[in-house]
Chain A
């Protein structure tokens, strides 16, 4: 199984500042046949289901604000929120979907400083 490890476990950032969350996989998430990395970032607010933000490591889901961006390759990936807004307070999870079981990271709690 591919193990997903996020860091940090929690993060406090001032409004308007940059927030960065990293995700590391135990194996490369590159699918060679289409050169895509099968890494998705989800946002989960209290009492709500997760919401897909970024897939294929860097493709923003329709309707997601452009302050959210994803980057990375191989085994190392990053979710960046360029200018933190109050509504971004949430848990963030990465998930690999290259090889079943499609494991999630343990999550990162993002708060306002």
Chain B
């Protein structure tokens, strides 16, 4: 059973860069059968799809982030990453990483990590 685990700083200063990594275990991230997504959820609010990356490096981003997000994948470490630039308090949320399958849904999720943007 594949498992995903987010890691990164829980506190980020406004205007700086939020950086998170998702470690994938129990399966190779290089498998072409899957893609890997980031989803976030502000406290008490709905889920927001940030985007996805394939092991090939192909990406899709949510335009709502206005070009502030960048994904990368490191197949040697079996992990993928999110960078979100120029953060504000509105970026405070629980960030989830998840695996997507060819049926285009997210079948495995990390437990989530809370990132607070505050000085």
Report yes or no: B49 in contact with A101, Cβ–Cβ below 8 A: yes
Q: Does A49 lie within 8 Å of B49, measured CB to CB?
A: no
Instruction: Given the known inter-chain contacts A1-B63, A100-B60, please indicate yes or no for A55 contacting B103, CB distance below 8 A.
Output: yes
Is B13 part of the contact surface with A, judged by Cβ < 8 Å? Answer: no
Stretch at the interface among A10-18, A73-81, A103-111: A103-111
Can you name 22 A-B pairs with beta carbons within 8 Å?
A: A38-B104, A40-B104, A42-B106, A44-B47, A49-B96, A49-B110, A49-B111, A50-B106, A51-B109, A52-B106, A55-B104, A55-B105, A93-B47, A95-B49, A95-B106, A97-B100, A100-B51, A100-B62, A101-B64, A103-B49, A104-B46, A107-B46
**Interface residues, chain B, with chain A CB atoms under 8 Å away:** 37, 39, 46-49, 51-52, 60-64, 96, 98, 100, 103-107, 109-112
State the A residues within 8 Å of B (CB): 1, 36, 38, 40, 42, 44, 48-52, 55-56, 59, 61, 93, 95, 97-98, 100-107
